[in-house]
Amino acid sequence: MKEVLTVATAPAVRHPDTGRSARTQFVTLQVLAVTPAARDTITLALALPGTGRSPGTYLPGQFITLAFPGSNTTYYRSYSLCGDGQSDQPWEITVKRQNAGIVSSYIYSHVRPGMVLQASMPQGRFTLPSTLAPRQVLVFVAAGSGITPIFSMLRAIRRLPLKRRPRVLLHYAYHNAADAIYSVELAGLDPERRWLTQWHYVTTNGHRLGVEHLLATVGESAKAAEWYVCGTASLKRCLESALPRHGIPAAHIHSEVFASPTSTRAADPSAQAPGYIRLVDSGAMLETRPGETLLESLERYGYRPDFNCRSGACGTCRLRLLSGRVQNGYGAGLTPEERAAGYVLSCVASPVGEIALAGAGRRVAAYSDTSDNRVSLRRANSRRKLRLGLVAATLGLFATAWGFTNHFPANQANASPADTTSPSSPGFFSTPAGGSNNSSSGQSSPGSIFGQPSQGGPNTSTGVS
């Protein structure tokens, strides 16, 4: 059956009181204008209904996530804001129609002024340095629609007094002239080249981005410059690998990848089998469906963890993996420190077998009452009870055998009862401080439960364009 999207009126995307943080709350926006930006590409102006104003400020380079309810599911797609960050202006996003793209094709073909959309508040850490200086050098490298967050940064820089603007070098690659997004606007940013120098690479003309050429244009400032890369995953990997070999510190390289949620799905067959999620916060055991992500499983069972891009880029959905293994959970939305601490991206990760998670929160919605879900929940609970029963039976047999055995050397056979330990005495099966000796119980001591981490995170890959 053909999937149907509806946005003519406010979508029935429900995020009630969900227990989610403000990072995941959605607001209603009205489309004020739709203007062409390039071939198969349009720019939408969005504002609070009836006001002409945006819901608030944002940092140039950040993105929002749109929610589109279909007949079978809700689609989430993230788009970079391309304005200069002023709160008295509508938000602007630019959408390029993708081949076989359900949402981008719908937006391009059907969204018109007056319609309303559901959008998240701005997120992302792919932003300008907190302070800018005239002698500072910024290098922007963009491919295709990766120009959108960079265009936002360029517009913000142009608002600064000329003497305060940093030196900016823009390298922009696209297929052919018709695909150049913001070509007119880019040309008008600094015609005199007082602060902005541009290089455009047209694939059909045989132009190619090269690391050596990039470095040559920056010269001696390359190691001190801040590098911003937005485009395909291959472009990101190439520059993040090559630039450090030329002395550019990794901390100076900021990147963002545009991708759809379907492109980040796990391909490992081991992740396509049912799995089990043990939530240490509540002790619940959930059974996942083949190919289902952690986030999808949690939502199906009535939990509402934070999320935003749903494509593994922004890091909002990160949860802590305490045991077990996941497939495809370590995307660019995590810092090296977060990976080392055990965090995974729940919107793209799938469990391999049984895992334990912390930070999923409490159930705030009714469990989806389908027969399949009821069977899954009963099976998961039955398996858990069976494991507990086996553990208890094993301990009982061990205790019984102990009772019929003399465990003491002959010279201690007459020792006082106070000097011995029996199966019924408190210290026999000792539990380490702050822990549990029953890993299958679904319970954990307070010291092993970790809450949602703070919002501080990486400079790399914070959304999709």
Q: Residue 40 is part of a domain; what is its CATH number?
A: 2.40.30.10
Q: Which residues of the chain have pLDDT under 70?
A: 1-24, 259-272, 332, 364-465
DSSP H helices in 319-367: 336-340
DSSP string computed for 5-30:
B--SS-------S-S--GGG-EEEEE
What pLDDT shows up at residue 464?
42
Structure tokens at 429: 């099966």
Q: Is the separation of the CB atoms in 436 and 231 below 8 Å?
A: no
Does residue 280 share a domain with residue 221? no
Question: Both 270 and 296 in a single domain?
Answer: yes
Q: Say if residue 40 is in the same domain as residue 113.
A: yes
H-only helix segments in 194-307: 211-218, 233-245, 294-300
Q: What is the pLDDT of residue 223?
A: 96
In-domain check, residue 370 = no
Report which residue type is found at 6.
T
Tokens of 272: 């396509």
d(CA 167, CA 155): 14
Decide if 320 is inside a domain. yes
In this structure, is residue 444 part of a structural domain?
Answer: no
Please report whether residue 366 resides in a domain. Answer: no
Tell me the angle at which helices 233-245 and 211-218 cross, rounded to the nearest 10 degrees: 60
Q: Are 186 and 156 in contact (CB under 8 A)?
A: no
Q: Is residue 278 part of a domain?
A: yes
Whether residue 148 sits in one domain with residue 50: no
The beta strands (E) that lie in 316-363 are given as: 318-327, 343-345, 350-358
Give the domain-ending residue among 358, 378, 398: 358
Q: Are residues 252 and 270 in the same domain?
A: no
**Which string of b and e fits 169-190 if b means at least 16 CB within 10 Å?**
bbbbbbeeeebbbbbeebeebb
Query: Do 141 and 100 share a structural domain?
Result: no
CB atoms within 10 A of CB 356: 20
Where among 89, 120, 151 does a domain terminate? 120
Domain that holds residue 92: 22-120
Reading the block at residue 313, the tokens are 């880029």
Do 216 and 276 belong together in one domain? no
Q: How far is CA 40 from CA 34, 36, 83, 327, 463, in A?
A: 13, 8, 20, 35, 21
| CA 82 – CA 60 distance, rounded (Å) | 7
Domain identity same for 102 and 160: no
- What is the CATH number for 310? 3.10.20.30
Report whether 277 contacts 357 (CB < 8 A).
yes
The token pair that represents 285 in the structure block: 């055991």
Look at residue 198 and give its three-state secondary structure.
strand
Number of domains within the chain: 3
With b meaning 16 or more CB within 10 Å and e meaning fewer, what string describes 402-428? eeeeeeeeeeeeeeeeeeeeeeeeeee
CB contact set of 310 (below 8 Å; sequence gap of 6+)? 65, 76, 78, 261, 295, 317, 347
- Determine contact, residues 40/49, Cβ cutoff 8 Å: no
Alpha helices in 327-430 (DSSP H): 336-340, 371-403
Nearest to 93 by CA among 82, 108, 107, 109: 82
23, 121 contact by CB (below 8 A): yes
Residue type, 86: Q
CATH number for the domain spanning 201: value is: 3.40.50.80
Contacts of 126 (CB under 8 A, 6+ apart): 61, 62, 149, 228, 230, 254, 255, 256, 459, 460, 461, 462, 463
Q: Do 68 and 171 belong to one domain?
A: no
Domain boundary among 95, 120, 145: 120
Sign of the alpha-carbon torsion through 308, 314, 320, 323: positive
- Beta strands 91-96 and 41-47 are antiparallel
186 and 240 belong to one structural domain: yes
Same domain, 254 and 141: yes
Q: Check whether residue 108 and residue 158 sit in a common domain.
A: no
Does the residue 393 lie in any domain?
Answer: no
Facing residues of 77 across strands? 66
Distance CA 171, CA 243 (A): 15
Does the residue 3 lie in any domain?
no
- Report yes or no on 35 lying in a domain: yes
